[in-house]
Chain A
Amino acid sequence: MTPTLRLSDISRCFQGIIPSIIATSDSRGVPNVTHLSQVYFVDDQHVALSCQFFNKTRKNLDENPVACVEVLDPLTLQAYRLRLKFLRSEKSGPLFDRMALRIDAIASHTRMSGVFRLIAADVFAVESVELVEGFLTERVNEPEQQVSVDGMRTEVRGLQFVSERINRACDLESLLTEVLQALEEYFKFTHTSVLLWDEAGRRLVTLASNGYGDSGIGAEVGLGEGLIGTVARERRPLRVTSLEGDLRYARAIRRESADARRTLAAEIPLPGLPDAQSILALPLLVGGRLIGVFMAEDRDPMKFGEWHEAYLEIIANQIALGIDRMLDRPDDVAEPVPVPKRGLASPSARISTAGARCRKFIYYKSDDAIFVDDEYLIRNIPARILWKVLGESKRTGRTDFSNREMRLDSSLGLPPVKDNLESRLILLRHRLQEKCPDCQIVSTARGRFALRAEASIELVER
């Protein structure tokens, strides 16, 4: 006799990795069958289905509120059948929000917002759960439990390790680098990144990454744009399994919509792994204030479970507090801001080397962007900081600067509070390292930095 099953016993079936099936029937007894991208676990007596289009399934449920759903375990392929009774449609509330986040994120990523959206969360009572006997030739062995006592010890040690690295970090750059390395070392999260929220620019800017060939430092995402932008806007974590399946589904709708002659914009390329199958994105928050977004991705569609989400939320909170502490830290500048000594001979000599390569920096005022040797380098506030530093060096020969004098210069446009100056300098340093390694900004002490140029520099403003 088949033992009685609880929905929580088959929780893997509700991760949306393998599409499910739903059968309904209208009042005349005409059946209907379709795929479902995900059945959402509500509790042991209830599931929810997403209503994205007013389709035949929806009409049938209004006429005859019963359904049969078949779900598959993604690790064993064992099938289970659920007998459901339709209870209600929720168009707001926590369940609706949780289901809508995933759909909104995928829709935004494929530029389908508005077309591909959650209309309602349809809630069903589960009247029975049955294992489909004979579906498999033999039962596939259950994989080992995710959390063992040893595993928990490792994870607690990991938390301790990450926490300790956050605490001892002397600057923002080392904090982010060490945390991402620790996550790889302890938890095998091999592809991770941190984006910081720039209040002035109203965008998220990638400030650290681990596991990618190209660092992606400086890559920007608007609020509400794509998976990351949606997490930032909603300030809620997002775990997407079987990403490729979701994207295929959304692209099918997009293709069908295009056939219907709707005008849709081009798709945003997914940052990071081109073949990512699972994504976990967590907002970095301090009190409700957005600090940034932490993102991990993997080629394994089962990489991130509910447990990882809960665990990484603890780490994300620590990262957020650590970043906030760094950004709030006063600069240690004991000495007064150096006054430029004007009139020195050959001011440009300090940043040029005889016979060295010449770097041509062009600042485009209308775009607020700097190009180096005709290649895009940086824009907005970090561009203004660099232009100030390069110009000052060219004019006076100065190479040492302080954070304080940047903050006092109103022409840079730094916000009066929470100016993120340190993160902007990190971004600037990384972009210079990538685009012109012979012209560097280096940290010399807390609150101080210097320009180190091994190339001669030409400045042009347009």
Chain B
Amino acid sequence: MLNQRIRRCLEAGASVLVATVDARGIPSCCRASAITADDDLKTVAIYLPVATSQQTIKDIATTHRVAVAATHVIEHVSIQLKGTACTARLAHDDEAALVEDRHQAFGEVLYNIGFPRRLTRSVVHWPAFVIDMKVEEIFEQTPGPNAGARLR
């Protein structure tokens, strides 16, 4: 079972960042709209806006390498998942509600720290790609002396 600390970083409202790398070793990044995990955190599904993740999808097609940082914004508790992308596909219509809920929850978190809802509502989150990722390593990423420690 995931421990509480890791679970908090994957809750609705978390900030989710994705990094990939191309065949030449050039990294790219984008923001994800949502993340879901199975109970043992062996796999995660990451939802990326189609409009802003073209390079990410290209990189995955060639190198399969993915890093995901998930952060509880208010408490600055953060983890990093590293692994390989198993599949990348367009999200189905029945996944739209999940992405919408997560997007709104993140908007509320930002609203609570001072960002107007009209701004966060304007961030594109659908249609989305879904990357199914096999999680191979988990690292502590909360700023401080333990940052970088391997959690799994």
A-B interface pairs (CB < 8 A), number:
148
Smallest CB–CB gap between B114 and chain A, Å? 6
Residue contact B52 to A79, C-beta cutoff 8 Å: yes
Residue contact B29 to A29, C-beta cutoff 8 Å: no
Main secondary structure of the interface of A (DSSP, over half): mixed
Give residues of chain A (121-161) contacting chain B, Cβ–Cβ below 8 Å.
132-138, 140
Closest to B118 in A: A140
Closest to A30 in B: B65
| Mask: chain B, 57-85; 1 = CB below 8 Å from A; 0 = not | 00000010111110100111110101000
| Mask: chain B, 4-39; 1 = CB below 8 Å from A; 0 = not | 000000000001011111000111111100000000
Residue contact B52 to A29, C-beta cutoff 8 Å: no
Known contacts: A25-B21, A253-B143. The answer to whether A35 contacts B75 by CB under 8 A is no
Which residues of the other chain, B, contact A136 by a CB distance below 8 angstroms?
122-124
Known contacts: A32-B19, A35-B15, A64-B25. The answer to whether A252 contacts B76 by CB under 8 A is yes
Known contacts: A33-B67, A245-B113. The answer to whether A135 contacts B51 by CB under 8 A is yes
Residue contact B148 to A56, C-beta cutoff 8 Å: yes
Smallest CB–CB gap between B137 and chain A, Å? 9
Known contacts: A140-B119, A257-B145, A260-B146. The answer to whether A31 contacts B67 by CB under 8 A is yes
| Mask: chain A, 46-57; 1 = CB below 8 Å from B; 0 = not | 000000110110
Closest to A132 in B: B52
Known contacts: A21-B29, A136-B124, A252-B77. The answer to whether A33 contacts B18 by CB under 8 A is yes
Which residues of the other chain, B, contact A277 by a CB distance below 8 angstroms?
114
Residue contact A53 to B147, C-beta cutoff 8 Å: yes
Closest to B68 in A: A33
Residue contact B145 to A249, C-beta cutoff 8 Å: no
Closest to B30 in A: A70
Smallest CB–CB gap between B53 and chain A, Å? 10
Q: For the complex, is A292 an interface residue (Cβ under 8 Å from B)?
A: no
Residue contact A256 to B123, C-beta cutoff 8 Å: no
What is the bound-complex CA distance between A56 and B149, given in angstroms?
Answer: 10
What is the bound-complex CA distance between A56 and B123, given in angstroms?
Answer: 29
Which residues of the other chain, A, contact B28 by a CB distance below 8 angstroms?
23, 68
Residue contact A31 to B147, C-beta cutoff 8 Å: no
Smallest CB–CB gap between B19 and chain A, Å? 3
Known contacts: A24-B27, A35-B15, A136-B123. The answer to whether A301 contacts B65 by CB under 8 A is no
Which residues of the other chain, B, contact A66 by a CB distance below 8 angstroms?
25-27
Closest to A134 in B: B51
Smallest CB–CB gap between A27 and chain B, Å? 8
Closest to B72 in A: A252
Smallest CB–CB gap between B145 and chain A, Å? 5
Which residues of the other chain, A, contact B78 by a CB distance below 8 angstroms?
34-35
Which listed residue (A30, A55, A76, A135) contacts B67, Cβ 8 A?
Answer: A30
Residue contact A77 to B65, C-beta cutoff 8 Å: no
Give residues of chain A (243-261) contacting chain B, Cβ–Cβ below 8 Å.
244-245, 248-249, 251-257, 259-260
Residue contact A77 to B27, C-beta cutoff 8 Å: no
Smallest CB–CB gap between B9 and chain A, Å? 12
Closest to B82 in A: A30
Q: For the complex, is A22 an interface residue (Cβ under 8 Å from B)?
A: yes
What is the bound-complex CA distance between A245 and B71, given in angstroms?
Answer: 14
Residue contact B67 to A140, C-beta cutoff 8 Å: no
Known contacts: A134-B52, A257-B145. The answer to whether A31 contacts B27 by CB under 8 A is yes
Closest to A301 in B: B114
Which residues of the other chain, A, contact B104 by a CB distance below 8 angstroms?
none
Known contacts: A135-B51, A248-B74, A252-B76. The answer to whether A25 contacts B25 by CB under 8 A is yes
Residue contact B21 to A29, C-beta cutoff 8 Å: yes
Residue contact B69 to A33, C-beta cutoff 8 Å: yes
Which residues of the other chain, A, contact B124 by a CB distance below 8 angstroms?
134-137
Smallest CB–CB gap between A413 and chain B, Å? 45
Which of A33, A253, A256 gathers most chain B CB within 10 Å? A33
What is the bound-complex CA distance between A228 and B63, given in angstroms?
Answer: 50
Which residues of the other chain, B, contact A172 by a CB distance below 8 angstroms?
none
Residue contact A35 to B17, C-beta cutoff 8 Å: yes
Give residues of chain A (79-113) contacting chain B, Cβ–Cβ below 8 Å.
79, 81, 83
Residue contact A244 to B21, C-beta cutoff 8 Å: no
What is the bound-complex CA distance between A135 and B124, given in angstroms?
Answer: 6
Closest to A70 in B: B29
Residue contact B31 to A55, C-beta cutoff 8 Å: no
Residue contact A249 to B76, C-beta cutoff 8 Å: yes
Which residues of the other chain, B, contact A133 by a CB distance below 8 angstroms?
51-52
Residue contact A32 to B80, C-beta cutoff 8 Å: yes
Give residues of chain A (1-42) contacting chain B, Cβ–Cβ below 8 Å.
18, 21-25, 27, 29-35
Residue contact B17 to A256, C-beta cutoff 8 Å: no
What is the bound-complex CA distance between A209 and B51, given in angstroms?
Answer: 50
| Mask: chain B, 111-152; 1 = CB below 8 Å from A; 0 = not | 001110001101110000000000000010111111110000
Smallest CB–CB gap between A110 and chain B, Å? 12
What is the bound-complex CA distance between A134 and B123, given in angstroms?
Answer: 9
Q: For the complex, is A67 an interface residue (Cβ under 8 Å from B)?
A: yes
Which listed residue (B18, B25, B115, B122) contacts A29, Cβ 8 A?
Answer: B25
6 closest Cβ pairs, A-B complex: A256-B144, A134-B51, A252-B76, A33-B19, A23-B29, A23-B19
Extra 6 A-B pairs, beta carbons < 8 Å, given A23-B67, A30-B67: A21-B29, A23-B27, A23-B29, A34-B141, A134-B51, A252-B142
8 contacts across the A-B interface (CB closer than 8 A): A23-B19, A29-B65, A66-B25, A77-B120, A77-B123, A137-B124, A255-B144, A277-B114
Residues of A within 8 A of B (CB): 18, 21-25, 27, 29-35, 52-53, 55-56, 64, 66-70, 76-77, 79, 81, 83, 115, 132-138, 140, 244-245, 248-249, 251-257, 259-260, 262, 277, 301
